[in-house]
Structure 1
Amino acid sequence: MPAGAAPVSTVGVESSRVRSTRIEHSVRQMEEVTMSYIDGFVAAVPTENKQRFVEHARAANEVFLEQGALRALECWGDDVPRGKVNDFYGAVQAREGETVVFSWIEWPDKATRDAAMGKMEELMKTDPRMNPEQNPMPFDGMRLIYGGFEPVVVLGE
């Protein structure tokens, strides 16, 4: 060190390097872990059909769990604001006397989900829980919106 020069602390630099290494390690770990896959649904259900919806969903979701789904959630609209340009109501063309529901099924991975979906046509013929005549949807399925989603950020459990 030159005469009269103040010593330079490397504590902060070292801490930054350690943090950076930890973050890089965490990212590598996340890349190695197979991410779950999510099927999401939004529908408009006649409010008077809430109990029928719950019964229908419970029966159908049992089948998804048997096919490998990790969990299924059915959520009844409680605090769904109206938007100025777009909102959940408009997305499903909700009418007076209907409640918006938001649902999702979590799968361990896309392969498990795809295998389960590959069995649905047959299950709709053989399993009364999936048969539209024996367990009809208590809402207009033509206004149901759905899609498969790959998580990109997962925090918490």
Structure 2
Amino acid sequence: MRNFFRSAGADLNIKGVLTFPKGIGIKAGEAVIFAFITCKSHAHRDRVNAKVMADPRLGAMPQSMPFDPKRMMYGGFEAKVDL
């Protein structure tokens, strides 16, 4: 992995657009956390994901998460602009 980015929501209530809070339906007291990882290629991403899934520490994860994992979103994206 080249980079891992994560941040907590700020300036999320912008008039006139679909905001993160409205789009994902957050409730009072909840926060939006956004994170992404950049990889060298799809093949690199696949190798990294395979290693993550094989990590025995995943089996030790608590049964009760501090968030609702059913509301997590995943996706793959290709950069269209690189500054």
TM-score range, shorter chain: 0.7 to 0.9
Note if 1:107 corresponds to 2:39: yes
* Structure with more relative contact order (C-alpha pairs < 8 Å, separation 6 or more): 1
Note if 1:72 corresponds to 2:12: no
Q: Which amino acid letter does the alignment assign opposite residue 75 of structure 2? A: G
Q: Cα RMSD between the aligned structures?
A: 2.4
Q: Structure 1, residues 89-140: CA drift from partner, whole Å, max 9, x if none?
A: 13322111011111111111111001222333322xx1x2x34625964211
> What percent of counterpart residues are identical?
30
Moved over 3 A (4+): 82-85, 134-137
Q: Name the TM-score, length of structure 2 as normaliser.
A: 0.78
- Residue 153 of structure 1 corresponds to 81
Asked if the contact 1:92/1:144 (under 8 Å) is kept, the reply is: no
- Residue 34 of structure 1 corresponds to none
Asked if the contact 1:77/1:99 (under 8 Å) is kept, the reply is: yes
Displacement of 1:86:
2.6
Cα separation, 1, equivalents of 2:78 and 2:66 = 28
Q: Structure 1, residues 10-38: CA drift from partner, whole Å, max 9, x if none?
A: xxxxxxxxxxxxxxxxxxxxxxxxxxxxx
Structure 1 gap segments, 5+ residues each: 1-68
Cα separation, 2, equivalents of 1:91 and 1:118 = 31
Cα separation, 2, equivalents of 1:105 and 1:136 = 25
- Residue 81 of structure 1 corresponds to 13
Q: Which structure: larger Rg?
A: 1
Q: Secondary structure at the match of 1:115?
A: helix
Counting matched residue pairs gives 83
Structure 2 gap segments, 5+ residues each: none
Looking at secondary structure, tell me which structure has more strand per residue. 1
Note if 1:116 corresponds to 2:48: yes
Cα separation, 1, equivalents of 2:60 and 2:14 = 32
